[in-house]
Structure 1
Amino acid sequence: MHIRIERDAFVDALGPVQSVVEVKKALPILSHVLLDATPEGLSLFGTDLDVGLRKQVAAEVFTPGAITLSAKKLYEVVKELPSAPIELQADQDLQVAISCQRSNFRLKGLSREEFPSLPNLHGDGELLLDAKLFRDMLRKTLFAVSSDQTRYALTGVLLQAHSTGLNMVATDGHRLALVRLPRPETSGTAVIEALIPKKAMVEAVKIARDEVGDVRIRLSDNQLILQQDTTTLVARLIDGQFPNYDQVVPTFTPNHIDISKDALHGALRRTSAIMGERTTPTEFDFQAGRVLISCVNMDLGEAHEEVEISYTGEGVKIGFNARYILEFLSAVDSETITLHLTDPLSPTIFRSAGDERYSCVIMPMRI
C-alpha cells in the first residue's frame, strides 16, 4: 500500500473512527484501524465488535493494499503533523512509513487478515431522515438511557418507524424521554423497530452534527446501518424487550403549570449547589402564582428559591431529582415549560409549552 493524502482530510476522517475503537480490548487487533486503499480512495474502519465506523476519504493511491495500525497512535501522530500532504507506504514486514515535509515516522502494523470481517452493509428497506431532525431526536432522548448493565434492555434508544409515525424513546426506570412525530413524507416506506446501544447513538450524533443532507437507516442481520455521505455506522442491536412506554405516560393530569425555562433552570442550578454526593430530593411547593423550590442537606445546609408560575389550582408539594429536570431543560429550546401533574406520588410530564411531540416523564421522590 502506498498513498498520498491531505493531512486535514486524514485527521477529520481518522478522529471519529478511532473514537469507537476500544484501546483496552483483550484482542490487540481491536485497538487497530483498518486502512484499505483502492483506486477509488482510502477507507478507514474501526470497531469494538458492537459498534463499527467506516469513513471514506479522497486519496491519491499509487499502490492499492490494506493494513491495520494502532488507531490511537496513528491519530496522535497525524494530528501533530503540519497541514500538508502525507505519504503512507507499507512494506512486506507490515511496517508503515509516514512522511510529511520534514517529519518521518514508522509504525508497526498487523495483517488485515487478523481484523474482523466487515459487516454486510446492504440492509432491508431504508428510512431516510433529515440529519438535523435525527440529531434533535437523539438530543432529546439520549440523556434518559440507563447506565445499569443489569437492565440491558434499557441501555439503548428505541427507534420506531411505522406507516404514519416516527418515535424515539429512552428510559432508565426513573424517567422516560419520548419523541413522537408524524412520519416525514420523504422518509420512505421502511418499517423499523430497533433497540440501539447508547454508544452507537452518541456516534450518530457526531455524524449528523453538520445538519446537512439526509441520514439513511437500514437493518440487516440484527445490525443497524446508518449512512450519511462518506460515513457508515454499524451497530449490533440490543437483544431485549423494551417496556411498553405508553403505559408509563399519564393520560390524564388535572394540574397544568407553566414556568419560564430560564427561571427554572437558574433556580435548580443554584439549589443543586447545596447537594452532596448522595441524591437528595428537591422539593417543589406549587402554589397559586408561584413555586417554592427547596433543597436540604443535613451536612451542608439548605437552599430556597421562589419562581413565578402560571397556576391557579390547589397547592401541591412534590419531590424530584433536580438533575433529571436539568437534563430535560438542556434538551429543549422553548422559553416556557409546562408541567402536567397529578399528585405527589404519580409521574409528572414535562413538555415545551404547547408541544406534545416531546415528553419527559419523571417519577417523583419521597420528601
Structure 2
Amino acid sequence: MKVVCSKDTLLKGIGTVLGAVSQKSTLPLLSNLLFDAKGNNLTLAATDLEVAVKTIIPAQVLKEGGTTLPGKLISDIVRKFDNQDIEVSADEQEKVILKSGKTKFSLVGISKTEFPVAVNFEGGKSFTIETSILKDMITKTKFAISTDETRYVLNGICFVIEKGKAIMVATDGKRLSFISNDDVVDKKLSFSLIIPSKAIEELLKIMSNSTVKEVEVGIFDNQVGFKIENTILRSRLIDGHFPNYDQVIPKERKGSIKIKTKDLLDATERVSLISAGRTSSIKYSIMKGKILLYSMEQGRGEGNDEIEIDYKGESFDVAYNPNYIIDMLKVCDSKEIILEFNTPVSPGVLKPDNDSNYTYIIMPMRLE
C-alpha cells in the first residue's frame, strides 16, 4: 500500500472512526484502525465488536493495499505533522512508513486480513429520516441513559417506529426522557429496538460533522446501521425488553406552572453549587407569584434563590436532584418550560411550552 492524503482530510477521517476502537480489550487489533487503499479512495474503519464505523475519504492511491495501525497513536502522529500532505506506505511485512516533509515515522502494523468485521449496509430493511430530526431526538434523550451496567436494557435509547411516528425514550430509573415526531417515516414500518449508548454517542458525533440532510437507517437481524454520506455505523442491539414508558408518564396533574427556561436553569445551577454528590437535592417551594429554591449541605452551608412566576394555586414543596433538572433544561430550545406536579412523592413532569411531543419525567427526592 502507498497512499498520499491531505492532513486535514486524513485527520477528519481518523476522527470519524476512532471512537469505535475498544478501550478495554487486550486484543491489539481492536485498538487498531483499518487502512485500505483502492481506486481513488482510502477506507478507514474501527470496531470493538459491538460498534463498528467505516468512512471513505479521497486520496491519491499510488499502490493499492492495506494494513491496520494503533488508532490513538496514528491520530496523535497525524495531528502533529506540519505539512499538509502525508504519505502512508506499508510493505508485505506490515512495516508502515508515515512521511510528511522532513518528518518520518516507522510503525508496525497488523494485517488487514485479521480485521474482524466487514462494515457494510447490505441485507437489511432501510429507510431515511431527516438528520436534524434524528439529532434533536438523540440530544433530548441520551442524557437520561443509565450508566449502571447491571441494568443492561437501560444502557441505551429505545427507538420505536410505528404508524409513521418516530419515538425515542431513555431512562435510568430516576428520570425518563421521551420525544416523538409524527409523519417522519413510512407508515408501513414498525419496530422497537434498543441502541447502546456508545453507538448513540458515535452517531451523534458523525451527524454533527456532516451537512447531509438525511440519514439512511438499516435494520438487520440483531444490529442497526446508519449511513451518513461516505460513513457507515453499525451496532449490535441491546437484547431485552425496555420498560413500558407509557405507564410512567402521569396522566393527571394537581397543578402546573409556566416559567422562563433560562430563569429556572440559572437559579438551579446557582443553588446547586452548595450541594455535592449524586444525592444532592434542591427544594422547590412553589407559592403565589414565586418559586423559592433552597439547598443545604451539612459542613458546607446553604443556598437560596427566588424566581417570579405567574401562579395563583396552592403552595407546594417538592425536592429534585438539580443535575436532573439542569440536564433537561440545557437541551430545551423553548423560552418557557411547564412544570406539572401532583404530590411531593409522585413524578414531576417538565415540558417545553412550544413542543407537546417532548416530555421529561423526574422522580422527586425526600423532603428534609
Please give the range of the TM-score, normalised by the shorter of the 2 chains. over 0.9
- How far apart, in 1, do the equivalents of 2:239 and 2:200 lie? 16
- Deviation at 1:190? 3.6
The aligned counterpart of 1:51 is 51
- How far apart, in 1, do the equivalents of 2:164 and 2:187 lie? 11
- Structure 2 counterparts to residues 107-122 of structure 1, below 5 A: 107-122=107-122
**For 1:150, what is the secondary structure of its paired residue?**
coil
* Aligned AA (1:197): P
The aligned counterpart of 1:345 is 345
- How far apart, in 1, do the equivalents of 2:88 and 2:215 lie? 32
1:223 maps onto 2:223 in alignment: yes
* Aligned AA (1:358): Y
- How far apart, in 1, do the equivalents of 2:187 and 2:115 lie? 35
> What's the CA shift string for 1:131-174, capped at 9, x where partnerless?
12111111100000000000000000011112231100100000
- How far apart, in 2, do the equivalents of 1:36 and 1:60 lie? 12
In structure 2, do the counterparts of structure 1 residues 90 and 13 end up closer, same or farther at CA, with 3 Å as the change threshold? same
> Contact (CA 8 Å) 1:125, 1:190: kept in 2 or not?
no
* Aligned AA (1:323): N
**For 2:309, what is the secondary structure of its paired residue?**
strand
**For 1:110, what is the secondary structure of its paired residue?**
coil
> Contact (CA 8 Å) 1:348, 1:361: kept in 2 or not?
yes
> What's the CA shift string for 1:82-104, capped at 9, x where partnerless?
24221111112111111112111
> Contact (CA 8 Å) 1:32, 1:69: kept in 2 or not?
yes
> Contact (CA 8 Å) 2:162, 2:187: kept in 1 or not?
no
1:180 maps onto 2:180 in alignment: yes
**For 1:147, what is the secondary structure of its paired residue?**
coil
Aligned residues: 366
- How far apart, in 1, do the equivalents of 2:105 and 2:121 lie? 34
Q: What is the TM-score normalised by the length of structure 2?
A: 0.96
> Contact (CA 8 Å) 2:257, 2:338: kept in 1 or not?
yes
In structure 2, do the counterparts of structure 1 residues 192 and 207 end up closer, same or farther at CA, with 3 Å as the change threshold? farther
The aligned counterpart of 1:72 is 72
> Contact (CA 8 Å) 1:3, 1:63: kept in 2 or not?
yes
- Deviation at 1:4? 1.3
**For 1:340, what is the secondary structure of its paired residue?**
strand
- How far apart, in 1, do the equivalents of 2:94 and 2:278 lie? 52
> Contact (CA 8 Å) 2:212, 2:228: kept in 1 or not?
no
The aligned counterpart of 1:294 is 294
- How far apart, in 2, do the equivalents of 1:244 and 1:257 lie? 27
> Contact (CA 8 Å) 1:156, 1:197: kept in 2 or not?
yes
- Structure 2 counterparts to residues 1-367 of structure 1, below 5 A: 1-184=1-184, 189-209=188-208, 210-277=210-277, 279-367=279-367
- Deviation at 1:40? 4.3
- Deviation at 1:212? 3.3
RMSD, aligned CA: 1.5
Worse overlay, 190-199 or 215-224: 190-199
**For 1:239, what is the secondary structure of its paired residue?**
coil
- How far apart, in 2, do the equivalents of 1:289 and 1:123 lie? 60
> Contact (CA 8 Å) 1:291, 1:309: kept in 2 or not?
yes
- How far apart, in 1, do the equivalents of 2:124 and 2:188 lie? 11
> What's the CA shift string for 1:202-225, capped at 9, x where partnerless?
111111114532111111121111
> Contact (CA 8 Å) 2:154, 2:242: kept in 1 or not?
yes
* Aligned AA (2:204): V
Q: For structure 1, which runs of at least 5 residues remain unmatched after alignment?
A: none
> Contact (CA 8 Å) 2:125, 2:220: kept in 1 or not?
no
- How far apart, in 2, do the equivalents of 1:107 and 1:203 lie? 27
In structure 2, do the counterparts of structure 1 residues 135 and 278 end up closer, same or farther at CA, with 3 Å as the change threshold? closer
* Aligned AA (1:234): R
In structure 2, do the counterparts of structure 1 residues 353 and 254 end up closer, same or farther at CA, with 3 Å as the change threshold? same
Q: For structure 2, which runs of at least 5 residues remain unmatched after alignment?
A: none
- How far apart, in 2, do the equivalents of 1:189 and 1:228 lie? 23
- Deviation at 1:26? 1.2
> Contact (CA 8 Å) 2:54, 2:119: kept in 1 or not?
no
- Deviation at 1:192? 3.3
**For 1:208, what is the secondary structure of its paired residue?**
helix
- How far apart, in 2, do the equivalents of 1:35 and 1:182 lie? 41
Q: What is the TM-score normalised by the length of structure 1?
A: 0.96
